[in-house]
Structure 1
């Protein structure tokens, strides 16, 4: 497990300064959009959309902020709770910073949001939960790194399937439809989708629905029942369970937050 020293998400314009990160722990950065620049081990790393940067412990680093740019990124600074924990994952044994363009940004974004939410809420045992979620995230990243680069054609197929899902997510989507979308067998489509994104077709559909649900719960006047129906859930209790499992809160909690703001 891990000791976590800092978790933050930054959005918007960058202030023009330089922030030292120190060398006592690892620094993990994921860029959702825009660019982040770091100096580490005598090199400058410019990370763009969907790129990860893992700076190992013992490597002094600085975050460089340029005036005027807009970005959205998440940063976690941590150290293994014991020396043995470092050997559990190969990426933690690297001596040089690792920059990696992930093929599964949606999955990593959901995992990172969960970690940021736990850290911000500071609920009971939140440090234990954040440590467990961080381990899950690092395992996902290490597996992807082990597999290496995927063929461009495979990535293009998955991007077309994602586009199809995002256009039809309110209806029932099957591997038969996605196979037809990219002209391959249904089983191959499902297998390819999971190998690239780290998610099943069903998990991806629910993720898109839950993201839409959060926006609607915060910014519309619709009830939970109305939103559940709109997103294609015939059973409101199933919608509630799926939302709680994905977001960590019940839909009613977001309705309550909306009411307080009003």
Structure 2
């Protein structure tokens, strides 16, 4: 079980710094804007928008930006309970630095994670565990994908870019296969090998990440969001939303309204 310690979005002003120290918890960082220097176990990393770093507990780290260089980032601090490390990333006790394919999706998931942390609704610890484990699995998949042949990597990138730009449409596997000039079976196999997800799962996650953003930042109803994102029926949208986030959109919208009124 992943036990939360803190989750936050930080706007770091120029001359921000973290002195060298051992981490007391596991940390997952996502840079959303700007750049800064982050030193982990003696390795100096220059992090930019979209970069992700996982730092295990007990790792020496420090960081700083420049006198004119603010940056923004999400951070999750957590501990592991139990003997099962869940995924290799949590077992190897090594820091990982990746530039993920689906940075926008991770940003949306981090936003959702932060909201649940701040609201602390019913079962938030289980929701926290599920969302953060998903993000850690994506990072672990990025680490594993470095072993994948370059051609396969390029094909998956092209498919993901297309889905990101057309997620409101009903995208057929056959159309994606034609896009990259491969067979449907081939792209389905390669996509899962590289990302650890099916094409359908990835597409659904992108659409639901967009739905969460609309629920948070717009006055659209659940039905309007369902129609806008191209779902044939609201009942199916509700089913997919709950599958991805763990809660139905009506409950998610209710929590958002409560926050606005407090």
TM-score calculated relative to the size of structure 1: 0.77
Give the 5 Å matches for 1:94-109: 94=92, 97-105=95-103, 108-109=106-107
| Structure with max Cα Rg | 1
Give the 5 Å matches for 1:26-175: 26-81=26-81, 84-85=83-84, 89-94=87-92, 97-105=95-103, 108-109=106-107, 111-175=109-173
Cα distance in 1 between the residues matched to 2:66 and 2:35: 10
Cα distance in 2 between the residues matched to 1:167 and 1:142: 25
| Number of aligned positions between the proteins | 258
Q: Contact 1:29–1:73 (CA<8 Å) still a contact in 2?
A: yes
Residue equivalent to 2:203: 205
- Once the two structures are TM-superposed, the CA of residue 173 in structure 1 deviates from its matched residue by 1.3
Cα distance in 2 between the residues matched to 1:74 and 1:204: 22
- C-alpha distance after superposition, 1:106-152 (max 9, x if no partner): 55445534433332221234334424543444344334424534333
- Once the two structures are TM-superposed, the CA of residue 8 in structure 1 deviates from its matched residue by 1.8
TM-score calculated relative to the size of structure 2: 0.77
Cα distance in 2 between the residues matched to 1:221 and 1:124: 24
Q: Contact 2:101–2:160 (CA<8 Å) still a contact in 1?
A: no
Q: Contact 2:239–2:248 (CA<8 Å) still a contact in 1?
A: no
Of 227, 244, 252, which aligns to 1:246? 244
Q: Specify every segment of 5 or more residues in structure 2 that has no aligned partner in the other structure, as ranges.
A: none
* CA RMSD in angstroms, aligned pairs only: 3.5
Give the 5 Å matches for 1:228-243: 228-243=226-241
Cα distance in 1 between the residues matched to 2:203 and 2:158: 14
Of 176, 179, 193, which aligns to 1:178? 176
Q: Contact 1:107–1:199 (CA<8 Å) still a contact in 2?
A: no
Q: Contact 2:31–2:74 (CA<8 Å) still a contact in 1?
A: yes
Cα distance in 1 between the residues matched to 2:212 and 2:133: 26
Q: Per the alignment, in what secondary structure is the counterpart of residue 34 of structure 1?
A: strand
- Once the two structures are TM-superposed, the CA of residue 185 in structure 1 deviates from its matched residue by 0.3
Moved more, 209-218 or 249-258: 249-258
Q: Per the alignment, in what secondary structure is the counterpart of residue 35 of structure 1?
A: strand
Q: Per the alignment, in what secondary structure is the counterpart of residue 97 of structure 2?
A: strand
- Once the two structures are TM-superposed, the CA of residue 181 in structure 1 deviates from its matched residue by 0.5
- Check 1:143–1:236 CA distance in 2 against 1; reply closer, same or farther (3 A cut): closer
Q: Contact 1:53–1:97 (CA<8 Å) still a contact in 2?
A: yes
- Once the two structures are TM-superposed, the CA of residue 46 in structure 1 deviates from its matched residue by 1.9
- C-alpha distance after superposition, 1:57-97 (max 9, x if no partner): 22232232434435443222233335x445x6444455653
Cα distance in 1 between the residues matched to 2:211 and 2:141: 30
- Check 1:170–1:193 CA distance in 2 against 1; reply closer, same or farther (3 A cut): same
Moved more, 232-241 or 248-257: 248-257
- Check 1:170–1:54 CA distance in 2 against 1; reply closer, same or farther (3 A cut): closer
Cα distance in 2 between the residues matched to 1:72 and 1:197: 26
